[in-house]
Amino acid sequence: MPQIVINPERCKGCELCVQACPQKILGMARDINSKGYFYARMQEQKRCIGCRLCCITCPDVAIEMHVHGTLYHYFAY
Amino acid sequence: MPQIVINPERCKGCELCVQACPQKILGMARDINSKGYFYARMQEQKRCIGCRLCCITCPDVAIEMHVHGTLYHYFAY
Amino acid sequence: MQNDVIMAGFGGQGILLIGKMLAYAGMHQGKEVSWLPSYGPEMRGGTCNCTVVISDRPVGSPVIQSPRAVLAMNLPSLEKFEPMLRPGGLLLVNSSLINREPSRNDVRVLKVPANDVANELKNPKGANMVALGAYIGATDAVALEELESLIRDTFASKPKVIEANLVALKRGYDLGAEMKEGKP
Amino acid sequence: MQNDVIMAGFGGQGILLIGKMLAYAGMHQGKEVSWLPSYGPEMRGGTCNCTVVISDRPVGSPVIQSPRAVLAMNLPSLEKFEPMLRPGGLLLVNSSLINREPSRNDVRVLKVPANDVANELKNPKGANMVALGAYIGATDAVALEELESLIRDTFASKPKVIEANLVALKRGYDLGAEMKEGKP
Amino acid sequence: MAKKLMKGSEAIGEAAIQAGCRLFFGYPITPQNEIPEYMSHRLPQVGGTFVQAESEVAASNMLYGAAGSGERVFTSSSSPGISLMQEAISYLAGSELPCVVVNIMRAGPGLGGILPSQSDYFQATKGGGHGDYRLLVLAPWSVQEAADLVQDAFDLADYYRNPVLVLGDGLIGQMMEPVEFRTGRVPCKPLPPKDWAATGCKGGRATNIINSLFLDPQVLEHHNQKLQAKYAAMVRDEVRCVEYGTEADYDVLVVAYGTVARVCSTAIEDLGAEGVKAAMVRPVTLFPFPYEQVRRAAQKAKAVLVVELSTGQMVEDVQLALLGTRPVHFFGRQGGMLATPEEVAEQIRAIAAGRSGEVAHG
Amino acid sequence: MAKKLMKGSEAIGEAAIQAGCRLFFGYPITPQNEIPEYMSHRLPQVGGTFVQAESEVAASNMLYGAAGSGERVFTSSSSPGISLMQEAISYLAGSELPCVVVNIMRAGPGLGGILPSQSDYFQATKGGGHGDYRLLVLAPWSVQEAADLVQDAFDLADYYRNPVLVLGDGLIGQMMEPVEFRTGRVPCKPLPPKDWAATGCKGGRATNIINSLFLDPQVLEHHNQKLQAKYAAMVRDEVRCVEYGTEADYDVLVVAYGTVARVCSTAIEDLGAEGVKAAMVRPVTLFPFPYEQVRRAAQKAKAVLVVELSTGQMVEDVQLALLGTRPVHFFGRQGGMLATPEEVAEQIRAIAAGRSGEVAHG
Amino acid sequence: MAETVFRRPEALADVTTHYCPGCTHGVIHRLVGEVIDELGLRERTVGIAPVGCSVLAYNYFATDFHEASHGRAPAVATGVKRARPDLIVFSYQGDGDLASIGMAEIIHCANRGEKVTVVFVNNAIYGMTGGQMAPTTMPGQVATTCPLGRDVNLAGWPIRVAELVSTLKTPAYVARASVHSPLHAVAAKEMLRTAFRYQKENVCFSLVEILSTCPTNWGIPPAESTAWLEKNMLPYYPLGTFKTPGGEDRAPGPLGRGRRGSGHAE
Amino acid sequence: MAETVFRRPEALADVTTHYCPGCTHGVIHRLVGEVIDELGLRERTVGIAPVGCSVLAYNYFATDFHEASHGRAPAVATGVKRARPDLIVFSYQGDGDLASIGMAEIIHCANRGEKVTVVFVNNAIYGMTGGQMAPTTMPGQVATTCPLGRDVNLAGWPIRVAELVSTLKTPAYVARASVHSPLHAVAAKEMLRTAFRYQKENVCFSLVEILSTCPTNWGIPPAESTAWLEKNMLPYYPLGTFKTPGGEDRAPGPLGRGRRGSGHAE
Ligand SMILES: Cc1ncc(C[n+]2csc(CCOP(=O)(O)OP(=O)(O)O)c2C)c(N)n1
Ligand SMILES: Cc1ncc(C[n+]2csc(CCOP(=O)(O)OP(=O)(O)O)c2C)c(N)n1
Ligand code: SF4
Ligand code: SF4
Ligand code: SF4
Ligand code: SF4
C-alpha cells in the first residue's frame, strides 16, 4: 500500500501535484503555512495508486512516498 | 584586340597571374621594382585572348586590360 | 516640518501603491517628497516595503533609519520595523493579520483591522486604502481631499473602484482621526 | 666598456640571427648583453632590425638612440640609421647592395661586399655571416673563436653549413681586421 | 512641463529622449532594468529604436556604430556590465565618439550584490580600460538632478566628442521624486556640426573614418596629446560642484557625492542644533574633479571628512587636492549598506572633538 | 641551470612552468604572442594543458575555473585584451582565487598601436573592474627579473588567495637577455593548503563553493572588510622597490618602473660625469606602492621627477606619497615612443637648474 | 515496515529554494540530483551555477560548486575539467545566460568537445531580472523589454539552441526535453542520465536543453503555465535527441545538394 | 581608340595594400568594390573593418568606414544600420575575428536579421598576429599555437560558419565561395552581388563566407597556396548557397524524425 507524505512547510501551494494526480485525491488546505502559502494535502489516501506523479511533479520535493508491502510500478523512474 | 597593361610598381610578384593565364604568355621580369619584388610582365601580347583571368586573379589590381576594336567575352564578369 | 513613514507588508497587499499615492498627494500640496522602495535580492516573492518622506524643506536622506511612523500590514513587517520607530512615533498595526501586541511602550500605537473593515465594505482589496486613510487621519501628513481626488484620477476608468476606495479611505481616516483626537 | 650596434636589412637577410649570435657570444664571454628586435606593425614583410648591447656592466637602456656601430645590409637601412650613428662610430655598409656613398664624414666607414663575397664562396645565404665577421673583426666586440664554436653548435646537424659559414665568417673577419689595423 | 513623480531610472530614460536621443542599446541588469524597459516602450512612441543587445560587450559596440553615425545614443548598465564595456569605452574615447553611458552602481566585487554602492569611482574617473583616456563623469544626487545631468551629458559629449559617464547608485535608480522637464531647454554647450561622422561619402566628399588605430608611434603620440589637450579643456571649463554652508564658518568640511551626500547634508543640519559646525562640498563632476574648490573650502576647516559607499576611492582625489594641508578622514560603508545621518553625525562629532585618526598612505 | 638567452615572453612562460604551473588559457595578441606560443609547445612536454580560448573573456573565466580547482594557472594578454578581462578579474578577486595574469602593455587607447607603453597603470593598480578590490601588481625591468617575479607571483597568489598581475611592456616581451632559473628554488611565501578548492566533496567533507555573490548587504560588507584586511597585509608586508644612488647625496630623485627605469638609470649615470646629481627609486610592486620609500628618498632631493610611458598615472601615487613636501615633475612619452637617456637627462638637468614647472591638480 | 520509494536525492541539499511556487527549475534540480546519485557521482561532481534565477544552485546541490559570471559557465567548466579531468563537471544555465551573453562560450565549449555536461533551462524569459525578453522568447510573447510582444522583424526569431549546437562537427550528445508534465520529466531524466553517462565514460560533450516554466514572469498561474508551455513552446522547440557522439553530421549542406550525411569528408 | 574593359573599381582606393604577395584578401577587396560600384552604392556605403590583417580596409575602400574592436564588427554594423537604415552597411571580417572572439555577435546579428552584409574571409589561420590556430584551422594543420598540427581531440573540429548561421530561423542569405582561382572568384562575386542586392532591397541579413589564402602563415608560396586550399579546405568547406530568405528552414530536426523542412511550425 502506497502512502503519500506531504511536508506542509516545504509546499509552496503551486497545485501542480493536484493537477498531476490521476486519482484527483490531492487538494489544498484552507490554512496557510508559516511562509503564507496554502499547502497541498492528501484527501483520500486509500484511493492512491502509488503512481508517484505527484512526487515527480513537485518542484519543491515536498512529497515523499512510502510503501507498505509491495507495489508494482507502471513505469521505471 | 586585347591589351594587357601591368603596373610594375603595384605588382608584388606573387605569380598568380602567370599561373592563371591559359596562354602562358605572362612571365616574371628579371629586375626588381622599388619595393624589391620581381614583377610580372607580358611576353607575347599578340597571343592574348582577352580572357581577363590574369586581371581577375591579381590580388593587387596591378593588371588592366584595354581592347582595341571589339572582343567577345567567354563569360560575363 | 517633516513626515516620514515606512510602509510594509506582503507582496500583494498594495503597499507600494499607497506609498506612491501618499507621495503624489504631498507633491500636489507643494511639499518636497521622496518614495523609496525596498529592492531586495534579484528574485521574486516575499515581503516588501517603501519609505515615504514629506517635508517642507528639500528631502535630505531618502533613507530613514528611525522613522516618525511605521505602517505594518503583517507580522513580519511589525517585527522588522517596530524597533526602528523613533520614540513618540506612530505605530500603525493592521490588527486583522497581526494578533500579537506591539512590544514598544514609548510610541503611539494605532490598531486598524484593515482587512476586516475592507471585507465589511465588500472591498477585500481595499485594506491598503483603509490603512492609508488611517495614517493620514492620525498624522495629517496630507489632506484627505488631496488623496480623494488622486483616487479619482488614478482609477478614472473604473467608477466602481473609485467609490469603493473612497469609502475605504474615509473609514480608515475616521479611525485615525479618532486617535488623534485622543479618543480610545 | 660597452659595444652596441644596430643591425638592419631586408626580412630574409638573416639579420636577427646574426644579432642573436653576437649576443650569445657576448654572454658566453661573461658579458652583460641584450638583444632587441624591431617589432613593427602587426603585419608581414618589409625591413627589420635589431639592437645588440654587449657591456661589462649591467645593460642600462636596451634601446640605443646613438649607437656605437651601425651594420646596414641594404639601402633603406643605411638611410634610416646612418644619421643616428654617434660621431667616431663604425658604419658597416654592405656594398654589394648599397652603391651610394655614406654621407657622414665623422664616422669610420667599412664597406663589405657581403653578398659578392658570399656568392664567391658558393654560399649566397652566408652574406650575413660575412657581415657579422667583419663587424667583430673591426670591433673585437666578441672573440672570433666564440662565434665559431657557436656556429658549430647552432648548425650541429648540418656539417656542410658549418663549414660554409665558418669560411664566410672568417673572410668577413679579415676584412674587418684589416680596417682595424688601419689598412686601406 | 508640470512636475511628475518619477523613478530615477525612468527620469534618466525620459531625459535622454528630451535631449533628442532616439537610440538605446542595452542589456538588462539590476538595479537599472527600468531604464531599458522604459526605453523599450517609449522610444517607439517617438520614432526611435530600442535594441536589447546580446550582452554589454555588444551593447557598447552598437553604441560605437551609432555614435560614429553621428546620432545621439546611450546605454546603461550596472557595475559588472560596465566592466564588460571597458574595452569598448577605451575605443569610444580613442575614436572620439560622443555618447552617454549610465552606470547605476551596485556593490561588488564580482557578482557582489544588487544594493547601492559607489565602488566604481576609480574605474569611472581614472579609466578602467586600457590607455590614457578620460571620461567626463557626472554624479547626480537626486532624481531631478539625474534628469538634468543626463540632458547636459549629451551636449557635453557632442561638444567634446567624448563619451560622458553618468554615475549613479541604486538609490538614484530606484527612488521616486518629483521631476520637471524644462520645455525649450537650450543646450549647455554650442553643438558643433558632426561633419566627421561616417554617413556615406556623398557628393565626392573625402571618406570619413571612425578609428583609434595609429600604427606609427609618432602619430599615436600626437593623437594622445590631442586627447590630453581636450581633457585639459574639460578640467579648465567643466568642473561642477555645490557647496553647502561654506559661507558660514565651520570646523569640519565634508566631501561626498551622489545620494550619500544627501545623508551627509541631513547629518550636518542635525548637528547644527548641537552647535557642531560642519559644511560640505559635493562634487558633481568627478572628472574633472573640483580640486581647487575642495582646497579652498578646506582652508576654513580644521579637518576634512570624506564619506563614500566604498572602502575609499574619491578620498585619494581629496588628498591630491589638499596635499597634506589639512588632515583627511574617511568614513565608508560597503556591500549595499547605507551610511545613515546618525553615523555620519557621529563621525563629524568625533573629528571635531579630535577623537578620530586620519587616512595615511603606505 | 646555466644562463640562457631568452625572449622576455619565453622567459615568462618558462618561469611559470618552473613555478609548477601546468595550465595556460589565453588568446593571441601582439606583443605577447610568444607567451601562448611557448606554452603551446612547452606544456605538453611537461604533462600540462594549453588551451587557446575563444577570447580574453573566455580565457579569464577558464582561469577562474582552474584556479577554483586549486591548480596553479595563468593567462597573458596585452592592453585591449586585459580590458576585456575586467569583469572576470573582479570576480577572481571577489572569490579570492589565486592566479597570475600577465599584461604586456601596448599603446592605447582603443586599438592604438602595438609598441611599448605603460598606460595601464591605473587599470592595474586602482582596479579597472567594478567594486573595491586590489591586485598585487609586479613590474619587472629586465628579462631575468620578469622570470623571477613570475615565479614569486604564483607564491604570492597562493599565499593571499588573490590574483597577481605582472605588468610588463612591449620591450620586456620582445627583448632577449640572459636568464637563469635557479634550481631548487624555495617559495617566497609559505603555501597554505588549498582546502577551499572545489574538487569534489569526498569522504563527506562539507561542500566547497567558489563564489562572490553575497545578497545580504551585511555579509557582503563583512566580505569587503575581510578583503581590505588582506590588502592591508600586502601593504604591510609586500612592498618591493629598488633604490639607486640614494646612499650618496643628490638634487633630483627619479621615480620610474619597468624598462623605462633602465633608460633613467643610464641617464643618471651619464649625468654623473657632468656633476649633475640624481638618484632613483624603482617601484617593483605597484600595488602595494612604496609610498614610504619614495617619501624617505625624496627628503634628500630638491625635487622629484616621475618618468612614465604614459601621460602620467603613477605620478599621482608619487604625489600621494609626498603630499606636497617636494615639487613633483613629470616626463612621459606615449603611443609607443620610447623615452631616451638623452631626453631624461635633459629633464633632470632642467629640474636641477630650476628650469622646469611642476605638476599641479585642478 | 514501510519502504520509502520516493525521497529527496542525496545530491540535493535539504533546504527550501527561493524559486517561485510552481517554477520547474525545482523539478530540473531534482532530476539532476537523482541522476548524480544513481550514477554515484556526487563526491566527484563540481557544478557551475549561472547568473540567473538558478544563481543560488550552489546552495541547493550537495556537491562542490562554482558561481560563474553571467554567461561564462561553459568557460569556467572548461577551466575545471582541464584542470581536473577526473571530476564530473556540469553547468546549469538559463536561456539569457547561455543563449544571449554566453553564446560564444557555449558554441566554443561544445566545439572543443569539452567533456562536460550542460543543463540548459529554456523558460523563454529572463527570470531573475524581472521578465525581460530572452533570445528564446516566443514570437508575440510579451516581456518587459518587448511590451507589445516579441516582433520577429525587429528582434528575430527565437534561437533553437539544441539545433544550433547539434550542427557542429565535433562529436557530442545534444537533446531537448521538457518538464511541464511528470511523464515529460521522466523522459528528461532519461536524457540527463545519458548525458552524464557520456561524461562519466569520457566520451564527449553533452547538452540537454530543458523547456521550463516561469509562472511569475509569464504572469500565468503555475497550473496553467504547463499548458502554456505545451501549446506555445513545444511546436517550436521539438523534443528529442539531435546529435549522438557516433551519429551523423547534422550540419546542412549547400542547397540543392541535399543534406550532408555522415559520409561527408572526415 | 582603346576601351578599358578591366580597371580598378571606383570603390577601391588607388593605393598599394600592405597585404603579402599573393594574399587573396586583395582579390576579395576588389570583388566587393566592383559589386558596390555595379550596384551604385559607393556614396551611401559604410564599411566596418575588423581587427585582423584587413584592419586597414578603411584605407583601401573608397567609402566611409568604422574600425571595430576585435570580433565586434557585427555589433558596430548593427549600431550603424539601426541609426541610419538608409545606409548600406557591410562588415569585412577574418575567421579569428568572426568565428572565435566574435561568435556571439555574429550569431545574434544574423538572428536579429540586421539588414547588413557580412563578408567573412576564412583563411584557416590568424594572419595578423603571426599564424596562430583559428577556429577554422584544418585538422592536422600546423599553426604557432598548435605546433604539432590541430588535434581535433583537444581543439575540436573546424567551425563551419555558413552551416552554423544558416540554421537560424530568421530569414537570411548565407553562402560560401572561394577565390583560389579566377573562375571561383567570378562565382564569389556573383554571391556578393546577391548579398548586397538583398540589403539594397531591404530584404534580409546576408553573409558570404569566402575561402582565402594566407601564403605567409601557411608557409606556402602563393602559387601553391591555391592548390593547398583546393585540396585541404574545399572538401570540408563545400561551396554553395546555404540559405535564402524565402527558402526552407535549414535547422536539423530531432533524430529519427527526419530533417525539419520549411513546413515546420511557423
Ligand atoms: C554581466 C552581467 N550582465 C547582466 C546581469 C543581470 N542578469 C542577471 S540574471 C540575468 C538573466 C537571467 O535570465 P536567464 O539566464 O534566462 O535565467 P532565468 O533567470 O530565466 O532562470 C541577467 C541579465 C549580470 N548579473 N551580469
Ligand atoms: C581584444 C583583442 N584580442 C586580440 C587581439 C589580437 N589580434 C589582432 S588580429 C587577431 C586575429 C586575426 O586573425 P583573423 O581574424 O583570422 O584575420 P586574418 O589576420 O587572418 O585576416 C588577433 C587575435 C586584438 N587586437 N584585440
Ligand atoms: S507540487 Fe509540491 S509545492 Fe506544489 S502544491 Fe504540490 S506539494 Fe505543494
Ligand atoms: S587576359 Fe588571359 S590570356 Fe591575356 S594575359 Fe591575361 S590571362 Fe593571359
Ligand atoms: S522568476 Fe521565473 S524562473 Fe525565476 S524562480 Fe520565479 S518562476 Fe522560476
Ligand atoms: S599574413 Fe596572411 S592574411 Fe595577412 S596579409 Fe599576409 S598572407 Fe594575407
Q: For testing the chain C interface, which of G67, G128, G214, G217 should be mutated: the one with the most C CBs within 10 Å? A: G128
**Average pLDDT in the E330-351 region?**
96
Which is nearest to C31 in space by CA: E270, E175, E178? E178
More confident residue, G10 or C183: G10
**Contact F111/H155, CB-based, under 8 Å?**
no
**Residues C176 and C117: beta-carbon distance below 8 Å:** no
Residue E299, pLDDT score = 97
| C-alpha distances out from residue A23 to A18, A42, A46, F229, Å | 9, 11, 11, 61
**Chain G interface mutation, best of E10, E24, E27, highest count of G Cβ atoms under 10 Å:** E27
Q: Name the E strands within chain G.
A: 2-6, 45-49, 64-67, 88-94, 117-122, 172-178, 205-211, 240-243
CA distance F44 to F32: 20
**How many angstroms separate the CA of residue G20 from the nearest CA in chain C?**
6
Q: Is the CB of A14 under 6 A from ligand 3?
A: yes
Q: What is the pLDDT of residue C183?
A: 55
Find all residues with CB under 8 Å of D9, minimum gap 6, and list them. Answer: D15, D47, D48, D49, D72, D73, D74, D77, D94, D128
A neighbours by CB contacts (3+ pairs under 8 Å): G
Substitution target in H82, H86, H91, H101 with the highest count of E β-carbons within 10 Å is H82
For residue D45, which amino acid is it? G
Nearest 5°: phi and psi at A52?
70, 5
**Using alpha carbons only, how large is chain E's radius of gyration in Å?**
21
Residue E152: count other Cβ atoms within 10 Å of its Cβ: 23
**Per-residue pLDDT tens digits for A10-52:** 999 999 999 999 999 999 998 888 777 889 999 999 999 999 9
Mean pLDDT (whole number) for A59-63: 98
Chain G contact set for E52 (CB, 8 A): 132-133, 145-146, 155
pLDDT tens for each residue of C129-180:
999 999 999 999 999 999 999 999 988 888 999 999 999 999 999 999 998 7
> Taking CB atoms and an 8 Å cutoff, what residues of chain E touch F239?
362
The C-alpha angle with vertex E26 and arms to E21 and E29, in degrees rounded to 5, equals: 130
pLDDT at A4 over 60: yes
Instruction: Say whether C182 sits in a helix, a strand or coil.
Output: coil
Q: What is the pLDDT of residues A7-19, one digit of tens each?
A: 999 999 999 999 9
pLDDT score of C10: 83
Q: Please name which of G182, G197, G201, G236 lies closest in space to residue G24, comparing C-alpha atoms.
A: G182
H or E stretch including B41?
A: strand B38-42
Q: Is F52 exposed, middle or buried (0-12, 13-18, 19+ CB in 10 A)?
A: buried
Please count the residue pairs, one from chain G and one from chain H, whose beta carbons lie less than 8 angstroms apart.
Answer: 137
CA separation (Å) from F257 to F231, F282, F307, F312, G129?
21, 5, 8, 13, 45
Q: Across residues E115-122, what is the average pLDDT?
A: 97
Please tell me the pTM assigned to this model: 0.96
Q: Is E245 helix (H, G, I), strand (E, B) or coil?
A: coil
Question: Across chain C, what does the average pLDDT equal?
Answer: 91
Whether residue H71 has its Cβ less than 6 Å from ligand 2: no
Kindly give the distance from the C-alpha atom of residue H130 to the centroid of ligand 6, in angstroms, as a whole number.
9
Asked if residue A2 lies in contact with residue A49, where contact means CB atoms within 8 angstroms, the answer is: yes
* C-alpha B28 – ligand 4 centre gap (Å): 14
Least confident range from D38-47, E280-289, E320-329, H225-234: namely D38-47
Mean pLDDT of D78-98: 94
**Predicted local distance difference test score (pLDDT) of residue E13:** 98
State the distance from the centre of ligand 3 to the C-alpha of E173, rounded, in angstroms: 37
**What does the CA dihedral H94, H95, H101, H103 come to, rounded to 10 degrees?**
110
Chain H 24-43, CB below 8 Å of chain E: which residues?
42-43
Q: Give the Å distance between the CA of G27 and the centre of ligand 5.
A: 12
Q: Chain G within 8 Å of F236 (Cβ-Cβ)?
A: no
Strands (E), D76-123: 90-94, 108-112
Mean pLDDT of chain E: 96
Query: What is the per-residue pLDDT for C45?
Result: 52
pLDDT in tens, E282-314: 999 999 999 999 999 999 999 999 999 999 999
Cell of B31: 629586375
**Segments of chain G with pLDDT less than 50:** 259-266
- Considering only CA atoms, which of C2, C8, C3 is closest in space to residue C81? C8
Whether G129 sits inside 8 A of C43 (CB atoms) is: no
Residue F112 sits at φ, ψ, to 5 deg, of 55, -115
pLDDT (0 to 100) of residue G99: 98
Q: Distance, CA G191 to ligand 3 centroid (Å)? A: 24
Interval between CA A19 and ligand 3 midpoint (Å): 10
Chain D residues in contact with H128 (beta carbon < 8 A)? 42-43
The partner residue sitting opposite G2, judged by closest CB among A3, A14, A75, is A3
User: Inter-chain contact F41–H101, Cβ cutoff 8 Å?
Assistant: no
Nearest by CB to H67, which of F33, F52, F111?
F111
pLDDT at position D183 is 54
pLDDT at C146: 96
Q: What are the grid coordinates assigned to G63, written together?
A: 556537491
Q: Cα separation of G211 and G176, whole Å?
A: 8
Q: Measured in angstroms, how far is the CA atom of residue D76 from the centroid of ligand 5? A: 69
H2-6/B63-68 β-pairing? antiparallel
- Contact (Cβ atoms closer than 8 angstroms) between residue F285 and residue F239: yes
Q: In whole angstroms, what is the distance from residue G127 CA to residue G24 CA?
A: 12
Q: What angle do CA E181, E185, E189 make, to 5 degrees?
A: 125
Partners of chain E (3+ Cβ pairs below 8 A): C, F, G, H
Of E149, E144, E259, E246, the closest CA to residue C32 belongs to E144
**pLDDT at residue E361 in the model:** 65
Asked whether F234 and F287 are in contact (CB, 8 A), the reply is yes
| pLDDT, average across residues E207-212 | 98
ipTM: 0.96
* D42 has a pLDDT exceeding 90: no
Average pLDDT, chain H: 95
**Other C-beta atoms lying within 10 Å of the C-beta of residue G259:** 15
User: What CA–CA distance (Å, rounded) separates F282 from F234?
Assistant: 18
Residues of G with CB under 8 A from a CB of A: 1-8, 12, 16-17, 19-27, 30, 181-183, 185-186, 189, 215, 221-223, 226
Pocket test for ligand 1, best of G98, G128, G214, G229 (most atoms within 8 A of CB): G128
**Closest Cα in chain H to D44:** H20
- Using a 10 angstrom Cβ sphere, with 0-12 exposed, 13-18 middle and 19 or more buried, the burial of residue C156 is exposed
For chain H, list residues whose CB is within 8 angstroms of any CB belonging to chain B.
1-8, 12, 16-17, 19-27, 30, 181-183, 185-186, 189, 215, 222-223, 226
> Which residue from E30, E52, E54 is facing G103, i.e. has the nearest CB?
E54
pLDDT above 70 (res H198): yes
Q: Is the pLDDT of residue H183 over 60?
A: yes
Cell of B44: 607575347
Q: Which residue has the cell 503564507?
A: A36
A4 lines ligand 3 (CB under 6 A): no
* Cα gap D44→B14, rounded to integer Å: 15
Q: Are E35 and E211 in contact (CB under 8 A)?
A: no
Residue G243 cell numbers, joined:
546529435
* Nearest-neighbour CA in chain E from G29: distance (Å): 22
**Per-residue confidence (pLDDT) for residue H263, from 0 to 100:** 34
Write the pLDDT tens digit of every residue in H55-75.
999 999 999 999 999 999 999
- Please state, in angstroms and rounded to a whole number, the distance separating the CA atoms of residues E60 and A27: 52
For chain F, list residues with pLDDT below 70.
Answer: 1, 361-362
For residue E244, pLDDT beyond 90: yes
Quick check: F29 contacting H, CB < 8 Å? yes
| Predicted pLDDT at G262 | 35
Contact predicate F130/E123, CB 8 Å = yes
Chain B CB contacts of H57 below 8 Å: none
F117 vs F311: CA distance, rounded Å: 10
Residues of E in contact with G129 (CB under 8 A): 28-30, 33
Q: Of the bound ligands, which one is closest to the alpha carbon of residue F60?
A: 2
Collect all residues of chain H within an 8 Å Cβ-Cβ radius of residue F29: 129
Q: What is the pLDDT of residue A73?
A: 74
Contacts F56 to H, Cβ<8 Å: 101
What is the model's pLDDT at position H266? 31
Is A16–G185 a contact, with Cβ atoms under 8 angstroms apart? Answer: no
- Cβ proximity of D73 and D97 under 8 Å: yes
F39: Cβ–Cβ under 8 A, 6 or more apart, which residues? F13, F16, F24, F26, F48, F50
Ramachandran region, residue F223 (left: φ > 0; alpha: ψ -120 to 50; beta: rest): alpha
Question: What is the CB-side half-sphere exposure of residue B26 using CA atoms within 13 A?
Answer: 28
**E72 and E23 in contact (C-beta within 8 Å)?**
yes
d(CA D34, CA D20): 9
pLDDT for D154 equals 86
